[in-house]
Amino acid sequence: MQMPDPSARVIGLKSQLVDRLLAVLPAEAVISDPAETRAYECDGLAAYKCPPLLAVLPSTTQEVSDVLKICHEMDVPVVPRGSGTSLAGGAMPTADSVILGVARLNAVLETDYADRLIRVQSGRTNLSVTGAVEQDGFFYAPDPSSQLACAIAGNIAMNSGGAHCLKYGVTTNNLMGVTMVMMDGTVTEIGGGHLDSGGLDLLGVICGSEGQLGVVTEATLRILPKPEGARPILMGFDSAEVAGQCVSDIIKAGVLPVAIEYMDKLCIEVCEAHAQAGYPLCEALLIVEVEGSPAEIDEQLALIKDIANRHNPVELREAKNADEAGRIWLGRKSAFGAMGQVNDYMCLDGTVPVSKLPEVLRRIGELSKEYGLDVGNVFHAGDGNMHPLILYDANKPGDLEICEALGAEILKLCVEVGGCLTGEHGVGIEKRDLMRVQYTDADLEAQMAIKDVFDPKWLLNPAKVFPLDASAPRRDAA
Amino acid sequence: MTVTSETELCAALRDAKGPLRIQGGGTRPIGKLEMGEVLSTAGLSGVTLYDPGALTIVAKAGTPVAEIEAVLAESGQRLAFEPMDHRHLLGTKGTPTIGAVVAGNISGPRRISVGACRDFLLGVTFVDGAGTLVKNGGRVMKNVTGYDLVKLMCGSYGTLGVLTEVALKVLPIAAASTTLRLDGLSLERAVAAMSAALGSPYDVTGAGHAGGATYVRLEGFGESVRYRAAELTQVLAPFGAAIPCDDDPWHQIREVTALADVPGDVWRISVRPTDAVTLLPMLSATDAVLDWGGGLIWAAVPPGTDVRRHMTRGHATLIRGTGHGPAFHPEPAPVAAITQGLRDRFDPRGILNPGLMT
C-alpha cells in the first residue's frame, strides 16, 4: 500500500511540537516515546503499519481545539482516531502525522427520553451508548459488529452500519447533531436535538467523511424504544440463486425484517467446526429476524415461512426460545473469528442491488476459480451489503497480491451491476485507489472541493479516501 | 428555459449570462429569491429504473410526484416519507416534481418514524453552477464510498446544482393503519402524550396535534396493528380515552390544510418536541399544527412576525408571507462560513437560485 513520503520538515519539528502541545495538554496526554507511539501504528486493517510522529489524548473539546490550532499553525497533518477498529485503514497514521485519539472523551452529557435523544462525548463506545439508556427501555440502533470496542467518533467518521440497519438505518440516519472542531481550532455546533437542517445539510456531509473534515467531540444521537421481543428463523437452500430469490420475495411481500443474513457453504462449514451452531450443511443459509410482541412475531414469521416454503428449503428452523435464538445467531456472529482461525483472509464490503445477489454470487464463484483462491460469503443480504472473504496464505509469496487483485475484480463487479465499493467499512487507504471505478474525475473533484472548504490546508487525514494522484496537487500545495 | 437532457443542461449552465431560477413544478415559491430567468426541469421526466425487489426507484428530476406514486402503488409500495404537496397551503398551481421534493428535503408525518426524504435518497446526479455533471451515491441502501453529497444536495434548494436524476429507497404500503385520537388536551399534555406514544415499543408512525385533537398512527399487518392499538390505548390512558379515528387526519396534517385559509405568515419550525411547549405560546400564533410529536410546528402568525427572536435552538423557515428578515434561519458564523465556502465552490458565479436560502 503506497503512502506519500513523510515530510522531513514535519519530522524535524517534533521536539518543538511536543513543547507546544505540553503547554495545552497534561503531560500524560502527549505520547512521544517511539516505544509508546507504536501502539497507534495501525487500526483494524493490521496488514499496514506505520508509527505516528506523536499521539495526543485530549480530554475536552477545548483541548482538541488547542491541539488542532497548534498543528494548523505548524502545518502538521493530524489523523483522528476513535478506537482504532477501522477495517479500511481510516485511522492508520503516517510517520509525519499526529494521532489525535478521542478515547478520553467518553462521558454521557444528557439523556432526554421525552425527546428520545442522548448526547455523548464522541470517544464513548457504541455499545455503552445503549448501555446508558437500556435500563429505561431504550437503545441506540446502529450496531456494527465491533460495537463493544468502536467509538461513536469512528462510527460518525465511517457512517457505520450493522446487522440491524435494514430496519433502523445506519449512523447518518440516527445522528442528530455534532460538536465539531475544525482544523484551525474553530469549534462549531451542527444540528442538535431537532430534526433536519435549516440550511445546507452539513451534518449529512460530515457523517461518513472519514475524519477529513473536522474532529467530532460530541454527538447528539437518536435513541429508540426497545422492541418487545425479537426472534430469528433459519432457512437453508440448495443454491445461492434460490436463497437470493427468497430474500427478494420476502422484501417484496411487505415484511420488513430487522435483519436478513446470508452464509454460503464454505462459511457454514468453518462456523460449524468452530461454534457447532447446528447449521445444515447446505449451499446457502439465511437468518431472518423479526421484532415485536410474540403474536406479531408469529404473524410475520408465518408470512416468511410461506415464502420460504415456495422455494423448497432444505431446512426451516424457527427459534422456540431464547436459547435456540442464541444458537441460530451464534454461528453468524462468530463467522469472521472462525474464518480467521482457519485461514488468512481479506474481507470485502461492496454493496449490490438485492435483486442482483444471485448473479453476483455466481460471478464471484467464477472469479474465485479463475484466481485460484477460495471465497466465502457471509453478509447482510437484506440491503445487499456483501462481505466476500477471500482466503489466502500470508506466508506464501505472491498470495496477498493475488488476493488483492481478486478483491479489486470483485469490487469492480459490484459497481458494474449498480452497486458500490464499500457499504459500511469506508474507503480509508484500502479502496482509495479504486475510487475511479465508481466515480469520474468530476465526481471526485466535487468531493475534494468539500474538503477544500472544511480543511483548506488538507491536514486532516490527508492521504485517504481519494486516489493518491488525485489528491496530490492539493496535499502538495498545502 | 426548458432542457430535455443532461447535455443541454450542462450547456445551459455553462453559457448562462445571469441568475437562474431553478424550477420543478413551481408549486413552492419560498425564500427571498432574486429575479432571473426560469430554468425548468420539467423536460427531464420519467422513471428510469424501478426494482421492487430491491425497494428502489430511479427517476429523472422533473418526473411528477404523482407519476412516481402511481408506479409504486402498482407494486404495493410508496415513498414512505410521505412528501407534502404545498399547493393547498400556498394557493399555487403546477405539478410537484420529485426533484423539487428532494431539493427541499420535503418530508411528512412519517418522518418521525422512518426518516426524512434525505434518509431515503440513495443517489443523485446534478449539474453544478459551472456546468459540470456530477454523480454521487448510487442506488443501493448501504454506501459509504466517498463523501455523501447526496445529503448535501437534499435540502439545498437548487442552490448548489440542478438535479437531473434521483434514486430513492421505497417501502411497502402497510397492510393496515389505525389512528387513535385524544381530545381536549392542553399543548403541554398533547406533547407529553405524543412523547409517551413515541417512547413506547409500539412503532408509532405519526404523532400530530391539530384543531384541538391529538393523533397517533399505527401501521403494519392487521393483527399487529390491532394488538398495538390496544396496548397504546393503555399507554395513553393517563391522558384520556384514546378512540380510533374514523377519518384519516394525516393528509390534513401533512398538507397543513388548517392554515390554508388563516391569514398571516406561515412558519415551519423544527425544534425538540418538548421545546414546542414553551415556544408556541410566545409566538402569538392565530393557529398552529404540530407534527413529529411536537418537533415540527406550523404556525400562522401576524404578518411581519419573526418567530426566531423567541428561539434559542432549532430552526424556522418562513414558508408563506413576505416577512422582513431572511426566510431561512440565520446560521452561526462558523457554519455560515462553511456554507458560503460550499456555494463558492459549487456555484462560483452565484447563478443558481441566488438569495433563495437567505
Q: Using a pLDDT cut of 90, give the percent of chain A over it.
A: 83
Mean pLDDT of chain A: 94
Residues A219 and A115 reside in one and the same domain: yes
What pLDDT is attached to residue A277? Answer: 85
Overall pTM surpassing 0.90 (yes/no)? yes
Residues A152 and A96 reside in one and the same domain: no
- CB distance B2 to B40 below 8 Å: yes
- Considering only residues 94 to 123 of chain A, which have any Cβ-Cβ distance to chain B shorter than 8 Å? 112-117
Longest CA–CA separation in chain B, Å: 64
- CB distance A422 to A448 below 8 Å: no
B347 contacts in A (CB within 8 Å)? none
What pLDDT is attached to residue A478? Answer: 65
What is the ipTM for the molecules in this complex?
A: 0.97
What pLDDT is attached to residue A105? Answer: 98
- CB distance A92 to A50 below 8 Å: yes
Nearest CA-CA distance, residue B97 and chain A, Å: 20
Higher pLDDT: A22 or A2? It is A22
Interchain CB distance below 8 Å, B156 and A201: yes
What pLDDT is attached to residue A274? Answer: 85
| Residue-wise pLDDT tens digits, A199-250 | 999 999 999 999 999 999 999 999 999 999 999 999 999 998 899 899 989 9
What pLDDT is attached to residue A347? Answer: 92
| Residue-wise pLDDT tens digits, B218-270 | 999 999 999 999 999 999 999 999 999 989 999 999 999 999 999 999 999 99
Interchain CB distance below 8 Å, B138 and A454: no
Q: Which of A201, A296, A303 sits opposite B155 (nearest CB)?
A: A201
Interchain CB distance below 8 Å, A173 and B115: yes
Mean pLDDT of B316-325: 88
Residues A207 and A243 reside in one and the same domain: no
Residues A210 and A197 reside in one and the same domain: yes
- Considering only residues 412 to 471 of chain A, which have any Cβ-Cβ distance to chain B shorter than 8 Å? 418-427, 431, 435, 438-440, 442-447, 449-454, 465-466
What pLDDT is attached to residue B5? Answer: 97
Beta-carbon contacts of B338 under 8 Å, excluding residues fewer than 6 positions away, are A188, A202, A453, A454
Q: Kindly identify which residue of chain A lies nearest to residue B116, measuring between CA atoms.
A: A196
Q: How far apart are CA A185 and CA A181, in angstroms?
A: 6
Beta-carbon contacts of B70 under 8 Å, excluding residues fewer than 6 positions away, are none
- Is A219 within a domain? yes
- Is A245 within a domain? yes
Q: Which of A300, A321, A336 represents a domain boundary (last residue)?
A: A336
Residues A317 and A348 reside in one and the same domain: no
Nearest CA-CA distance, residue A112 and chain B, Å: 10
Q: Count of domains in chain A?
A: 4
Residues A38 and A118 reside in one and the same domain: no
Of A142, A57, A47, the closest CA to residue A87 belongs to A47
Q: What CATH number is given to the structural domain containing A179?
A: 3.30.465.10
Q: Which of A336, A364, A391 represents a domain boundary (last residue)?
A: A336
| Residue-wise pLDDT tens digits, A267-281 | 999 988 888 888 999
What pLDDT is attached to residue B50? Answer: 97
- Is A468 within a domain? no
Mean pLDDT of A293-309: 92
What pLDDT is attached to residue A322? Answer: 87
Give all domains of chain B, ordered by start, each with its CATH number.
6-172 (3.30.465.10), 176-254 (3.30.70.600)
What pLDDT is attached to residue A94? Answer: 96
What pLDDT is attached to residue A54? Answer: 98
Burial tier of A399 (Cβ tally within 10 Å: 0-12, 13-18, 19+): middle
Q: Which of A336, A361, A391 represents a domain boundary (last residue)?
A: A336
Residues A251 and A210 reside in one and the same domain: no
What pLDDT is attached to residue B31? Answer: 86
Chain B CB within 8 Å of residue A86 CB: no
pLDDT tier for residue A339 given thresholds of 50, 70 and 90: confident
- Is A272 within a domain? yes
| Residue-wise pLDDT tens digits, A96-150 | 999 999 999 999 999 999 999 999 999 999 999 999 999 999 999 999 988 999 9
Of A80, A372, A39, A58, the closest CA to residue A210 belongs to A80
Q: Where are the beta strands (DSSP E) in A115-186?
A: 117-121, 138-139, 175-181
Residues A236 and A322 reside in one and the same domain: yes
What pLDDT is attached to residue A255? Answer: 87
Cell of A297: 412475531
The size of chain A, in residues, is 478
| Residue-wise pLDDT tens digits, B51-82 | 998 999 999 999 999 999 999 999 999 999 99
Mean pLDDT of A37-63: 95
Range of the domain at A290: 230-336
Tell me: pLDDT of A472 over 90: yes
Q: What CATH number is given to the structural domain containing A370?
A: 3.30.70.2740
Interchain CB distance below 8 Å, A205 and B331: no
- Is A250 within a domain? yes
| Residue-wise pLDDT tens digits, A422-434 | 999 999 999 999 9
What pLDDT is attached to residue A338? Answer: 84
- CB distance B96 to B88 below 8 Å: no
Interchain CB distance below 8 Å, B138 and A420: yes
- CB distance A115 to A134 below 8 Å: no
Residues A89 and A145 reside in one and the same domain: no
CA dihedral (B304, B310, B313, B314) positive or negative = negative
Mean pLDDT of B328-349: 97
Residues A311 and A253 reside in one and the same domain: yes
Chain B CB within 8 Å of residue A208 CB: yes
Residues A329 and A380 reside in one and the same domain: no
- Is A446 within a domain? no
- Is A275 within a domain? yes
Q: Which of A115, A182, A427 sits opposite B146 (nearest CB)?
A: A427
- Is A435 within a domain? no
Residues A220 and A122 reside in one and the same domain: yes
Q: Which of A253, A299, A426 sits opposite B224 (nearest CB)?
A: A299
Q: What CATH number is given to the structural domain containing A263?
A: 3.30.70.3450
Tell me: pLDDT of B324 over 80: no
- A383 has which bridge partners? none
Q: Which of A170, A182, A251 sits opposite B55 (nearest CB)?
A: A251
Q: What CATH number is given to the structural domain containing A24?
A: 3.30.43.10
What pLDDT is attached to residue A275? Answer: 83
